[in-house]
Amino acid sequence: MLKSLVRLAATAAMAALFAGSAFAAEPLKEINISYVESPFNLQTIVMRKQELLEKEFAADGVKINWHTINSGAQQAQAMAAGSLDIGGVMNTTSILLANAGGNPVLIAAGVSRPAQTYAIMGKAGGPKTIADLRGKQVVGPRGTVLHQILAAALVSEGMTLSDVEFIGMDLPKAQAALIAGQTDAALLAASLKIKAEAAGATVIATGDGLVNPVLVVGVSKAFADAHPDAAARVQRVNKEATAWVLAHLDEATEIGAKEQGIPLEDGKKLAAWGNFTDTLTEKDIASIKDDIKFLNDNDMMKGTVDVEALMLPGALAGNAQ
């Protein structure tokens, strides 16, 4: 009887092993990737418009499904739900929060360091310097690089977030409130920043010199583990798209401006602020670690994340595959 039970258990274990192997070996049929235009993600726009991923995986019969999801947090949520494999463009804050919350999202490649794209802006006739913000109302999105820029700017003048009245608000509403004069200052980015300045608002400070914002290509750990070759190929296509953008910046800017429905002159400004990249550096790693401190200090995250462990092979400069 005992021998029979042992044989039965062994048979069941082998069946489970083969079933697991069959599941792991199941060919990839589709890749779900987010399409994120803003702030001015020329690599992603070019990648989609020129169907670079579709061409890369055509011979394998792998379908590429693009999903328009601008929020990094929502991309992470979609990955947790299994409906998204690749976060086309994510901010590192969203990736940190996802990992801290038990949703493992890795970094496959760099996208940009658009420090000048993000700004603290004062209303027309309102505050013009960081020091002028003391006691003033500032609106903008919480838990973002903009929020972090505000905190860093205040610290540079011996202040903290408690020295202003900060109200959480999404970007379009923040811009509208600023232009209408309903708030003293707002945290804005990209074309919203350009339009607010054209309407009379003042750029008080950008992220340049205060924070090193890093936008990256994210990948679900489950996808990276199950399909490492596919993840590496997406990484390679992102590198090719970046090289094309840098070699044909005027043409890429025209494509991006048309896609976003903005004047070409605005597109040129955004492209100049892009600081496009396909890999991260040690400085970026240090910046992401600063993000962890900011999130903890402002009760947006508990604990820490092993930043180096988030990097896929080839994501760091000098470690290209």
| pLDDT tens figures, 87-107 | 999 999 899 999 999 999 999
Pair of tokens at residue 221: 């750990």
Asked if the structure places residue 234 within a domain, the reply is yes
Do residues 78 and 144 both lie within one domain?
no
Instruction: Tell me which residue of 208, 228, 178 sits closest to 275, measured CA to CA.
Output: 208
Asked if the structure places residue 227 within a domain, the reply is yes
Asked if the structure places residue 157 within a domain, the reply is yes
Single residue among 139, 173, 206 that ends a domain in this structure: 206
Parent domain of 164: 117-206
Query: Does residue 274 have a pLDDT over 60?
Result: yes
Do residues 63 and 42 both lie within one domain?
yes
Tell whether the torsion through CA atoms of 299, 304, 307 and 311 is positive or negative: negative
Do residues 109 and 125 both lie within one domain?
no
Q: What is the dihedral of CA 24, 30, 32, 33, to 10 degrees?
A: 110
Single residue among 172, 206, 240 that ends a domain in this structure: 206
Confidence of residue 15 (pLDDT cuts 50, 70, 90): very low
User: Cβ-count burial of 77 within 10 angstroms (0-12 exposed, 13-18 middle, 19+ buried)?
Assistant: middle
Q: Is the peptide bond before 27 cis (omega within 30 degrees of 0)?
A: no
Cα 2 to Cα 11, 89, 153, 160, 242: the distances in Å are 14, 57, 72, 70, 63
Query: Does residue 6 have a pLDDT over 50?
Result: no
Confidence of residue 294 (pLDDT cuts 50, 70, 90): confident
Pair of tokens at residue 151: 């905190």
- What is the model's pTM? 0.85
pLDDT of residue 18: 37
Give CA–CA dist 284/265, Å, rounded.
29
Give CA–CA dist 107/214, Å, rounded.
11
Q: What is the per-residue pLDDT across 146-202, written as a single tens digit (0 to 9) for each?
A: 998 999 999 999 999 999 999 999 999 999 999 999 999 999 999 999 999 999 999
- Cβ(113)–Cβ(161) under 8 Å? no
How many Cβ atoms from other residues are within 10 Å of residue 4's Cβ?
8
Which residue bears the tokens 């995986």?
Answer: 57
The CATH number for 173's domain is 3.40.190.10
Query: Does residue 10 have a pLDDT over 70?
Result: no
Considering the chain, what is the average pLDDT of its residues?
90
Asked if the structure places residue 315 within a domain, the reply is no
**What single letter denotes the amino acid at residue 248?**
H
- Cβ(83)–Cβ(103) under 8 Å? no
- Cβ(38)–Cβ(146) under 8 Å? no
Asked if the structure places residue 76 within a domain, the reply is yes
Pick the range with the lowest mean pLDDT from 76-80, 183-187, 295-299, 303-307: 295-299
- Cβ(192)–Cβ(61) under 8 Å? no
